Amino acid sequence: MKHITPIEQYDDIIENEVISHIEPNTYYKSCTIVDEDTYTYDQVKFERCTFTLPTFEKIEMLDTIFLYCDLSNCNFEETLLHRVDFIHCKLVGSLFIEANLGYVRFKDSILRYANFASTKIKHVLFESCELVEASFLHTKHKELQFDHCMIQKLDLRETKLAGIDISTCEFESLFLDLQHSKGLKIRFDQAASIAIMLGLEIA
Task: Confirm if 36 and 22 have CB atoms less than 8 A apart.
Answer: no
Which stretch of DSSP H or E encloses residue 197? helix 191-197
Task: Confirm if 143 and 164 have CB atoms less than 8 A apart.
Answer: no
Evaluate if residue 180 carries a pLDDT over 80.
yes
pLDDT in tens, 36-64: 888 999 999 999 999 998 889 999 999 99
- The C-alpha atoms of residue 182 and residue 80 are separated, in whole angstroms, by 29
What single string gives the DSSP state of each residue in 24-47?
SSEEEESPEE---S--EEEEEEEE
The CATH homologous superfamily to which domain 12-197 belongs is: E3 ubiquitin-protein ligase SopA (2.160.20.80)
Using alpha carbons only, give the angle 74, 78, 79 rounded to the nearest 5 degrees.
70
pLDDT value at position 167? 95
- The C-alpha atoms of residue 185 and residue 115 are separated, in whole angstroms, by 23
Hey, which residues does 124 pair with through a beta bridge?
104, 144
> For the whole prediction, is pTM greater than 0.75?
yes
pLDDT in tens, 79-98: 999 999 999 999 999 999 99
Evaluate if residue 196 carries a pLDDT over 80.
no
Domain boundaries, the chain: 12-197
Backbone angles phi, psi at 90, to 5 degrees: -110, 120
